Amino acid sequence: MKVRNVKFVNLITKHMVVLPSAKHCSSRLRYKYIKYGQNIKRYYAIPSVRSSDYGQTVSTCQRQPRVRNAGNLIPHSRHFVDEMTSCEPAGLELSCIINDIKHVIVCGHSDCKAMNLLYKLKSADESNLEQRRISPLKSWLCAHGKTSLDKFLDVKGDFNKPILFSAETPQRKFVAYIDPENQFCIEDKLSQVNTLQQLQNIASYGMLKKRLEKHDLHIHALWFDIYTGDIYYFSRRAKRFLIIDEASYEVILAEIRRYYS
C-alpha cells in the first residue's frame, strides 16, 4: 500500500461513523499497513495510532460514534414499534442527527463467524424455534439476517446475476455483482451481500429520510479480507466491490468526490 493509497483510506474514513463487525480484523490489517509502511519509510497507514483495537484505528468514540455487533447487522426499521428499539438505530440517531455526521460506512469482512452461521441457518433444522431459544446468536441472525440470506439464496449460486438493492430512497436502486471472479468462499459471498443489505436497512429509518433525499447524508460499504489485509470499496458505478490499490485508487476517489462530497 503506497502513500497515495494510505491517504485514500484516511480520506474515506474521515467524518464517518464506522460499523465494523469484528475486532480480529485489526492485527492482520495493521500488519499489512506496517509491512508496506516499512517500504515507504516514515509514512504509515494511520499515523500516531497505537491501539490494537481496529475500531480505534479507524475512528474513536470521541471523534465519531460507532456500533459493533455480531454480523454487522443494522436491523430494519420495521422491527421497532412503539418504544422498543436497540443500540443500532440509537447509534444512527446519535451520529447522523445529533452529531451531524455526513457519511456512514458499513464494514463487512471475510471469515465472519456470524455469516458462517447465517449460511447454515438456511437449514430448517438449524433455524427452528427450539434452536433459536437455545442460541441467542441464531435468534439474532434469524431476526435480522434473514433478508440477506434470502437475497443471497435467490441467485441460486449464479453470481453472474445482478442482485438488486434499495439505496438512499425506495426509488433509488443499485445492483451488485458479487465476487464475479469467484475468489471467495460461499460464506464470504454471503458476507458481501449482507454488508450491502445493511445500506438498505439504514435507509429505512424515517429520521434519516430528509437528509438522504437531500444528499446530505451518504451510505457506503467496505469489505475486508482478513487474511490478506486487502480492503474493498463497493462502487455503484462498477456495481461491485473494488479492491483499493494503485490501479483503482483514482477511479474510486473520483466516484466519491463526484457523488458523495
Q: How far apart are CA 246 and CA 233, in angstroms?
A: 13
Residue bearing the bigger pLDDT, 56 or 211: 211
Whole-prediction pTM value?
Answer: 0.79
Best CA proximity match to 29, nearest among 7, 8, 9: 9
Alpha helix stretches (DSSP H) within the chain: 3-12, 25-39, 54-58, 87-92, 113-120, 124-127, 129-134, 136-144, 146-154, 186-202, 209-213, 249-259
Q: What are 104-148's pLDDT values in tens digits?
A: 999 999 999 999 999 999 999 998 999 989 999 999 999 999 999
Q: How far apart are CA 242 and CA 235, in angstroms?
A: 7
Q: How far apart are CA 152 and CA 256, in angstroms?
A: 27
Q: What are 194-233's pLDDT values in tens digits?
A: 999 999 999 999 999 999 999 999 999 999 999 999 999 9
- Say yes or no: domain 3-259 is CATH 3.40.1050.10: yes
Q: What are 137-149's pLDDT values in tens digits?
A: 999 999 999 999 9
Annotated binding residue 112: yes
Collapsing DSSP states into helix, strand and coil, what is residue 228? coil
Q: How far apart are CA 159 and CA 19, in angstroms?
A: 26
Annotated binding residue 15: no
Q: What are 177-192's pLDDT values in tens digits?
A: 999 999 999 999 999 9
